[in-house]
Amino acid sequence: MADFDLIVRGGTVVTGTDTVRADIGIRDGKIAAIADSLSGPETLDADGLFVLPGGVDTHCHIEQLRADGTADEETWESGSASCLVGGTTSVVTFSTQFKGHDILDPLADYRRRAQMSMVDYSFHQIVTDASDEVIFKQIPRIVEEGIRSLKVFLTYDPLHLDDRGYLRVLAAARRAGAFVTVHCENYEAINWRTEALLAAGHTSAKYHSWSRPSIVEREATHRAIALAELVDQPIQVFHVSCQEVAEEVATAQARGLKVWAETCTQYFVLTAQDQDRPGFEGAKFMCSPSPRTEAEHARMWDMVRRGVIDVVSSDHSGWCFEGTRGKRINGSDANFRDTPNGVPGLSARLPLMFSEGVVKGNIDINHFVRLTATNPAKLFGLAGKGSIAVGYDADLVLWDATKQVTITNDLMHQAIDYTPYEGMTVTGWPVATLLRGHVSMRDGVVQSEPGAGKFLARAPYDLIKPRGVLADGFDASLYA
C-alpha cells in the first residue's frame, strides 16, 4: 500500500450525494484513497466529526480595485484567513473595469495582489464598458488565460451596462466559451424612485430597500434571461433575494434554458427591517438587492429544495463600518444613495447555512454540501474542487455538527470591522480546514502563509456550452 502524507481518520465523509464513515488518505495535496481503514504515520483525528469538501465561494469581493487606484479594505491576506476559519478553501472574486479604460491593466494589478491569498482563487471579469477593444480583443484573451466568467451589472453607477452593452458581453462570452453572471435590478426604476425618496426627505438607510422593491429585481431578471436566450448564452443570476424573482428563473429552467440562480447567506437571515436602526447603524445591513421579509426566508428554502436556487455564496463586500474608507466614505450622515452597499460574510457562510439549513431541517447535509461547495465548483469549472473523491484536491473541512457558537466579529478574522450576523447563535462549526492536504486552520487558528493559495485557471467545460437554439437559426454573435 502506498504511503500517505496524511490520513484523516475516523470521520464521517460527506459529499453532495453520499455520507459514509471512512478514512481519507492524502498524497501530494490530493485525495489518494478513501477506505474503511488506512494506516500511516501522520494522522488527523476526525472521530465524531463530519469531513466535508472545502467550501467554494463563487461570489465575493476581496481587495477589489477602486477607481482611485486603491482597493477595498478586505485584503487577500485577511480575506483568505477569514475563508479558512469559516471552512472555505476556494473563492472566485472580481477583477474590475473602469469606464473608459481596458480590462488588462487592472487584471494584472489584481493578479499580483491575489498572490497573497491563503486559499485557491479565480476571478470573474467585470465588464462596465463594452468597447470594441474589450469585447473583441481583450475578453477572448483573458478567457484563454483561464478567467472563464464575466460579470455584468444591470444597475449601479458607474458600473451598469445598458441592454446593448449586456448583449455585446453575452455575445463575446458565447464566442470565447465563457460564462456570464448578472446583477439583476432595473437601473432607471431605482434611480427614479431614489430621486423621489430623496426629494421627499427620505434619506436614511431604511429607504435603501424602498428604492429597490422586489419588482425591480424581477423585471431585470426576466430581461436578463430573455436577452441571454436571444444570444443563446448560459448565465447565472446573482443574489436572487426572493421567491418572486426565483420564479422567473424557474420558468426559464422549465423551458430548458441554461439559467442558474445563486443566492447569498443574508437572504436567509436578514430582513429590510434591519436597515431601520437608529443613527447610521442601518448602513451595516445595506446590500443589493435588499434583504426582504422574515416570511421570505421560508420561501427561499422552498426554492432551494425545488432546485431552482442551487448555489449559496457570501457576496462578501469590503466596506468597514468605522473609518473614512468604508460605509462612511461620504460621511456619517450620507443619504442611502451615497452609502456603499454590501455586507461581509466569508466566514459566516458555512456556519449560518448549516445551522439554518441542516440543523433546522430545511435541507439535509448532502444538499448543504452541494449548495456551498459542489455546485459552485461545477458551475464555474473549478476542476478537482467541491467534492471528496480520489484524484480531487484534498480541500477538506472537519466539521463539528453539535458545537454552538455565538457569532462575533472577532471570530470572523476579517479586516472588515463588523459582521451583520453579530450575536446570532449557530449550531455547527468548522474545527479544521485543509487546503490541498495542508492543515491551514485548526481550532480557529490560521496555520498558513500568505501565498499558499494558487490561481485556478479554468479550462473549457461542457456545462456552460450554449444550447444551439437561435432565433431564425441566425447566430448574431458571429458578427456583433
For the bound state, the minimum distance from the C-beta of residue 358 to Zn ion, rounded and expressed in Å, comes to 25
Could you say whether residue 262 binds Zn ion (CB under 5 A)? no
- To Zn ion, the closest distance from the beta carbon of 18 in angstroms equals 32
Q: Which of residues 415-444 bind Zn ion (CB under 5 A)?
A: none
Q: How far apart are CA 123 and CA 121, in angstroms?
A: 7
Least Å distance, CB 61 to Zn ion, is: 6
Contact stretch for Zn ion (CB under 5 A) within 77-85, 190-198, 272-280, 310-318: 310-318
Number of residues that bind Zn ion (CB under 5 A): 1
- DSSP character at residue 60: B
Nearer to Zn ion, 221 or 387 (CB): 221
In the complex with Zn ion, which residue's Cβ is closer, 355 or 375? 375
Q: Which of 315, 356, 393, 395 binds Zn ion (CB under 5 A)?
A: 315
Q: Which residue has the cell 450554449?
A: 466
- Give residue number: closest CB to Zn ion: 315
CB of 344 to Zn ion, least distance (A): 12
Helix H or strand E encompassing 88: strand 88-95
Q: Which is nearer to Zn ion, 315 or 393 (CB)?
A: 315
Q: C-alpha cell of 13? A: 465523509
Kindly report the number of other CB atoms within 10 A of residue 466's CB atom: 18
Long-range pairs of 16-25 with CB within 8 A, sequence gap ≥ 24: 16/366, 16/367, 16/369, 16/370, 16/373, 16/374, 16/375, 16/386, 16/387, 17/366, 18/366, 19/365, 19/366, 24/51, 24/388, 24/394, 24/396
Q: Which stretch binds Zn ion (CB under 5 A): 78-86, 315-323, 388-396, 415-423?
A: 315-323
Q: In what order do the strands lie in the sheet with 149-153?
A: 55-57, 88-95, 120-126, 149-153, 179-183, 235-237, 259-264, 309-313
Q: Least CB distance from residue 197 to Zn ion, whole Å?
A: 23
Q: Where does this chain touch Zn ion (CB under 5 A) — which range of 80-88, 289-297, 309-317, 424-432?
A: 309-317
Dihedral, CA of residue 326, residue 332, residue 335 and residue 340, to nearest 10: 10
Residues 166-225 that bind Zn ion (CB under 5 A): none
- Report the nearest approach of Zn ion to the CB of residue 427 (Å): 28
**52 versus 184: smaller Cβ distance to Zn ion:** 184
Cβ closer to Zn ion: 296 or 315?
315
Q: How many CA atoms lie within 13 A of 335 on its CB side?
A: 14
Q: Which is nearer to Zn ion, 344 or 351 (CB)?
A: 344
What is the helix (H) or strand (E) element at residue 6, kind and residue range? strand 6-14
The vertex-399 CA angle with 20 and 446, nearest 5°, equals: 135
Query: Residue 129 or 315: which CB sits closer to Zn ion?
Result: 315
Nearer to Zn ion, 15 or 181 (CB): 181
Shortest gap between Cβ of 315 and Zn ion (angstroms)? 4
Sequence-separated (6 or more) residues with CB below 8 Å from residue 360: none
Orientation angle between helical segments 187-199 and 214-231, nearest 10 degrees = 160
Q: Min. distance of Cβ 267 from Zn ion in angstroms?
A: 13
Q: Which residues bind Zn ion (CB under 5 A)?
A: 315
